[in-house]
Amino acid sequence: MENTISEFGKVFIFLALGVVLVVGGFITSRLLRPFRPNTEKMTTYECGEEPVGSSWVQFNIRFYVIALIFIIFDVEILFLFPWATIYKQLGTFALVEALIFIGILLVGLAYAWVKGDLEWVRPNPNVPQLPTKKFEKMPARPEASLLSLVESITPASASESSLPKV
């Protein structure tokens, strides 16, 4: 028992020393560097070329979708490497599990393909147009027609005192 605690202690000391060295390096560089801002330092650096236009560019959402699909499949393929190294020791059951895992990956890939997420240029969707004649009959101010409806229901002889207080 004593030996395992000392092993955990060694790991903790190693991690603490690593954190102290990294944070100490950041603090030391912050304290020792010269701080002399000028317009040349504040410009965007583009490999030595003069920047043209704004440095902020809005990316197409398809970049993020393709990157997300790549990361998902890349991480899932990493799960297959440990399996492949000890495949002979695991037997047929592990082969079936790996084939099911690969099948799930292929279903996900087929779904992304059918949905069109792998297409860079998508066709414009056909959006059905609603008939506008129904909406042309609506008044410009719906509350005015509601008030006229309430006035038509309320008898003219009713005074304000006979109406219930709200």
Query: Do the beta carbons of residue 76 and residue 105 sit within 8 Å?
Result: yes
Is residue 79 included in any domain, yes or no?
A: yes
Q: Which domain holds residue 99?
A: 51-120
Is residue 113 included in any domain, yes or no?
A: yes
What is this structure's pTM?
0.43
Overall domain count for the chain: 1
State the chain's mean pLDDT as an integer: 79
Is residue 73 included in any domain, yes or no?
A: yes
pLDDT tens by residue, 113-125: 888 878 877 777 7
CATH assignment at residue 85: 1.20.58.1610
The amino acid that residue 5 corresponds to is I
pLDDT tens by residue, 48-84: 777 777 767 777 788 888 888 889 888 888 888 888 8
Is residue 80 included in any domain, yes or no?
A: yes
pLDDT tens by residue, 27-50: 999 999 888 888 877 777 777 777
